Structure 1
Amino acid sequence: MPRKGVKHKQWDPKQMKLAVEAVKNKEMGYLKPSKVFGIPKTTIEDYVKKGASVNPIGRKPVLPKELQDDLALYCLEMDRRYYGIRGRDIRRLAFQLASKNRLPNPFSRKTELAGRKWMRNFLKSHKNLSFRTPQGISKATVKGFTPDNVNAFYDLLESSFEKVNFDPARVYNVDETGLTSVQRKHSKVISFKGKKQVAALTSADRGSLVTVVTCMSAIGSFVPPPFVFPRKNMKAELLDGTPAESIAGCHPSGWIQTNLFTQWLQHFVKFTKPSKEELIVLLLDGHYSHTRNVDIIDIVRDTGIIIVCISPHTSHKLQPLDLAFMAPLKTYYAQEIKSWLKNNPGRTITSFNICRLMCPAYQKCATAEIAANGFRKPGIYPLNRNVFKESDFLIEQQRERTSRPIEQLRERMPPLSTVRLEETAHLHTYKAESHLPFFTAADIEPLSSYQQIVRPNTTRKSRQGTTCIITSTPYKEELQKSLVERNRRKSVKNKETT
């Protein structure tokens, strides 16, 4: 039986320095720092009496520690600007840093890249870095998440919570998501090493989409979900296996419509039983089926519901269902599809199977813990305006300006002699340290080149939405006027075509 190797020198060098200083300053003996700093007593004696070096043993790193730390901060800053750096990019930067600073290195001159082993050691020494798969985010979403928009939302939220006495049982969030008969997420599987492509069975190339409307409260109560099927006529078999008291509607697109959302609101009133004495706060995004519907305003006014619309392009940060519920639901749903295909070889999944597969996934996610975490993370309940740090808004607060096309950003950066370190001195989370006797990553690829790319102004401007209380009288009057104007334009356009 093989023996386990004994690992030496597992203590932190910084802790050793503190222990040695404490003994030399006669603040402690030898036994107490051993217990405080977790270092063997005899080791502390050796370092005090013999003056042994605290520096790490072994070869010196190719890039000094200060330069590696600066590179790590540069990677985090690029991630914050939505220009995340790939592993190959870091290896290229490491090679350029070693070359510009004339540091002896074993890097490849042919590929002009640092080795994979160096990359592994770099990540090992910087535990706060890891490879992550980014999610696409639009320019409008980046620009919409600002302190003004978020504070305006919290102002409306606080005034609405006062009317319900800050009762979490009377605070709900509703949102829709699409489920298809073809799973989009696949778990990792064991396959032959070096195989070029690993396949996983799906029901079809393209599947039908069914919309499910999810609603949960801050204490973890869930309203039975409605479904929207991509068809014109409803069949009772479509709801086989759904959670109890679920309802359904049909539309050729499979997406929620204004009339279907009105039906859901009546379904919501049936289960939550709001009244003008026991008000309920309902949070939702600015989808047209939610906000461009006068019938909804009439229903909520009569039943005692306060609808608060989340600021445009901020639902990825402020909506509880997006933050805590939707991702687990999609993951569990994909697992159910995989299990069904394995147990039913040769068969395909249709709209008649989606609800039956969705129900087990929904029951796994519909827990009080997930609901509470969803409302806690954006600071909705308990109400916390300071949940977002200043750094969360820094990229949106930067001054917008037209930059070079994205193709030019991928080209080689200007020569080092034309780059000034002062160009990056305004950064908040990353600053190239001027006292470092090295060329830094910001010298090679200046961060000023990676500003937000803003399209030139066009003659047509869309109306910018805002956070609001949909049940308010000013909003209803404005909505009625806009709907009348839209109908008038449609009638004029129809007359011109005929």
Structure 2
Amino acid sequence: MPPIRTKSSRNLVEQEGRILLAIQAIQKQEIGAVRAAARVFDVPESTLRTRLKGSTNRAETRANGHKLTEIEEESLKKWILSMDSRGAPPRPSIVRRMANLLLAARGSTPTTSVGQNWVANFVKRHPELSSRFSRRYDYQRAKCEDPKIIYEWFNLVQKTILQYGIDPDDIYNFDETGFAMGLIATAKIVTRAEYYGRRVLLQPGNRAWVTTIECINASGWALPPCVIFKGKVYIESWFDGRPEDWRFEVSPNGWTSDEIGLRWLEKLFIPSNSSRTKGKYRLLILDGHGSHLTAEFDRICEKNDIIAICMPPHSSHLLQPLDISCFAVLKRAYSRLIESKMRARINHIDKLDFLEAYPSARIEAFKSETIKNSFAAAGLMPYNPD
């Protein structure tokens, strides 16, 4: 049943119609004086004068609480739907951050921002959107549901490639992996036959954490890495003599962060492959880590014709080329190099020792054939969802 309009609302609508007729009559010079037009069309003279100066009808004026224009809200809605279709529906805090980015892009001072409850009201204004709790995705359940979810993800990848005309040589996968610099990975050893259980293997001892961001291309080549050390101050002397195209960062815990992920995208990924891009668009496959597909990250991707797609949760061991092969080879190679240092009576591995060993481990891990086999094993190139 349609809503019943009250008498006051009907009067306002009728008055607005008379105001528009009065404005039209004055503009066409059918009536010369504003006072006369107000009397003829039975509208308040002060309201008519205000409207002639350019003010809009209050009923049509956008509420102050909206903050964004209709065009900005429409673009934000499309971004949310795009993120959802790529397997990364944003949290309300991420939507709020993107709204603040749109406000900041206006360049006005002081910069305004949306409030704590703005996202909830925004969702109410757009019936295409809905707020709901995410579902916990337990690993044991994931093993049962994988076939259906993975098949849907492969359909998304194929649809994206066809929609944007992405060349097979413009498909990338990136992720980070971590090292405790002085710890050796588990390895097969030869020991006494009568001993049961796992033998203890001596370690050099330094457990300081270092993270590396790696990215590979489906045609069989790897981008330069980004190495993140634990520290508060960036010291240039640590990296003397290192490859110039490598990127180095520091963070309080040696892990990646939103800011480091953005700098990697802008300073390393985009410049490193721009000259090798064959088509207009590039496809970047990544997992759902918090520092990966943030609002700022996705915005930079959109500006540079990069289509980012997130893998389903608990599926990187099946779908991510880096996890399937490259990282395992990388860690085994690094462990062998650290073990050789231990045999040479080096009992403490520091940043310089890591930077000496890591390039050799990368050469072994990121061979062209290994990278191509990783994409093939993931079913991405050649495309094989089965």
Common fold by TM > 0.5:
yes
- Say if 2:235 is the partner of 1:235: yes
Cα distance in 2 for residues equivalent to 1:354 and 1:380: 32
Provide the residue aligned with 1:142 in structure 2.
Answer: 143
Cα distance in 1 for residues equivalent to 2:241 and 2:151: 42
Cα distance in 1 for residues equivalent to 2:246 and 2:163: 30
After TM superposition, give the deviation of residue 265 of structure 1 in Å.
0.5
Cα distance in 2 for residues equivalent to 1:207 and 1:230: 11
- Say if 2:298 is the partner of 1:288: no
The residue correspondences of 1:95-114 to structure 2 (distance < 5 A) are none
Provide the residue aligned with 1:249 in structure 2.
Answer: 249
Residues 181 and 208, structure 2, Cα contact 8 Å, conserved in 1: yes
After TM superposition, give the deviation of residue 166 of structure 1 in Å.
5.2
Cα distance in 1 for residues equivalent to 2:169 and 2:238: 32
Deviations 1:357-409 (A, max 9, x none): 11101111111111111111121111122x2xxxxxxxxxxxxxxxxxxxxxx
- Say if 2:271 is the partner of 1:270: yes
SS at match of 2:160: helix
- Say if 2:378 is the partner of 1:357: no
Provide the residue aligned with 1:211 in structure 2.
Answer: 211
Q: Does the C-alpha gap of structure 1 residues 257 and 199 become closer, same or farther in structure 2, counting only changes over 3 Å?
A: same
Identity of aligned residues (%): 26
SS at match of 1:151: helix
After TM superposition, give the deviation of residue 190 of structure 1 in Å.
4.3
- Say if 2:268 is the partner of 1:299: no
The residue correspondences of 1:86-97 to structure 2 (distance < 5 A) are none
Q: Does the C-alpha gap of structure 1 residues 152 and 189 become closer, same or farther in structure 2, counting only changes over 3 Å?
A: closer
Residues 228 and 251, structure 2, Cα contact 8 Å, conserved in 1: yes
After TM superposition, give the deviation of residue 354 of structure 1 in Å.
1.5
Residues 182 and 348, structure 2, Cα contact 8 Å, conserved in 1: no
Q: Which amino acid aligns with 1:309?
A: C
Residues 209 and 230, structure 1, Cα contact 8 Å, conserved in 2: yes
Instruction: Decide which of 249, 260, 279 is 2:281's aligned counterpart.
Output: 279
Provide the residue aligned with 2:17 in structure 1.
Answer: none
After TM superposition, give the deviation of residue 233 of structure 1 in Å.
0.9
Q: Does the C-alpha gap of structure 1 residues 355 and 186 become closer, same or farther in structure 2, counting only changes over 3 Å?
A: same
Q: Which amino acid aligns with 1:384?
A: N
Provide the residue aligned with 1:390 in structure 2.
Answer: none
Residues 325 and 370, structure 2, Cα contact 8 Å, conserved in 1: yes
Q: Does the C-alpha gap of structure 1 residues 332 and 244 become closer, same or farther in structure 2, counting only changes over 3 Å?
A: farther
Residues 220 and 368, structure 2, Cα contact 8 Å, conserved in 1: yes
Residues 228 and 254, structure 1, Cα contact 8 Å, conserved in 2: yes
Q: Does the C-alpha gap of structure 1 residues 277 and 171 become closer, same or farther in structure 2, counting only changes over 3 Å?
A: closer
SS at match of 1:154: helix
TM-score, length-scaled by structure 2: 0.59
After TM superposition, give the deviation of residue 192 of structure 1 in Å.
4.7
Q: Does the C-alpha gap of structure 1 residues 338 and 216 become closer, same or farther in structure 2, counting only changes over 3 Å?
A: same
- Say if 2:175 is the partner of 1:180: no
Q: Does the C-alpha gap of structure 1 residues 298 and 276 become closer, same or farther in structure 2, counting only changes over 3 Å?
A: farther
Deviations 1:164-219 (A, max 9, x none): 64522100000110011233424444445535785433111x60110001100111
Provide the residue aligned with 2:340 in structure 1.
Answer: 339
Residues 164 and 170, structure 1, Cα contact 8 Å, conserved in 2: no
Q: Does the C-alpha gap of structure 1 residues 154 and 207 become closer, same or farther in structure 2, counting only changes over 3 Å?
A: same
Cα distance in 2 for residues equivalent to 1:184 and 1:138: 27
Structure 2 unaligned segments of length 5 or more: list them.
Answer: 1-137
Residues 174 and 216, structure 1, Cα contact 8 Å, conserved in 2: yes
Q: Which amino acid aligns with 1:367?
A: K
Residues 218 and 371, structure 2, Cα contact 8 Å, conserved in 1: yes
Q: Which amino acid aligns with 2:295?
A: V
TM-score, length-scaled by structure 1: 0.46
SS at match of 2:292: helix
Q: Which amino acid aligns with 1:340?
A: K
SS at match of 1:159: helix
SS at match of 1:372: helix
Cα distance in 2 for residues equivalent to 1:322 and 1:189: 24
SS at match of 2:203: coil
After TM superposition, give the deviation of residue 296 of structure 1 in Å.
1.2
Count of aligned residue pairs for this structure pair = 246
After TM superposition, give the deviation of residue 305 of structure 1 in Å.
0.6
The residue correspondences of 1:59-458 to structure 2 (distance < 5 A) are 138-139=139-140, 141-142=142-143, 145-147=146-148, 149-163=149-163, 165=165, 167-194=167-194, 198-204=199-205, 207-239=207-239, 242-266=242-266, 267-273=268-274, 278-291=280-293, 293-343=294-344, 345-385=345-385, 387=386
Structure 1 unaligned segments of length 5 or more: list them.
Answer: 1-136, 388-498
Deviations 1:37-64 (A, max 9, x none): xxxxxxxxxxxxxxxxxxxxxxxxxxxx
Cα distance in 2 for residues equivalent to 1:238 and 1:143: 47
After TM superposition, give the deviation of residue 304 of structure 1 in Å.
1.1
Provide the residue aligned with 2:107 in structure 1.
Answer: none
Q: Does the C-alpha gap of structure 1 residues 198 and 247 become closer, same or farther in structure 2, counting only changes over 3 Å?
A: same
Cα distance in 2 for residues equivalent to 1:328 and 1:317: 16
Deviations 1:224-274 (A, max 9, x none): 000111111112243356555111111112111010000110110001117
SS at match of 2:252: coil
Deviations 1:137-163 (A, max 9, x none): 93354355241x212211221122225
Q: Does the C-alpha gap of structure 1 residues 312 and 242 become closer, same or farther in structure 2, counting only changes over 3 Å?
A: farther
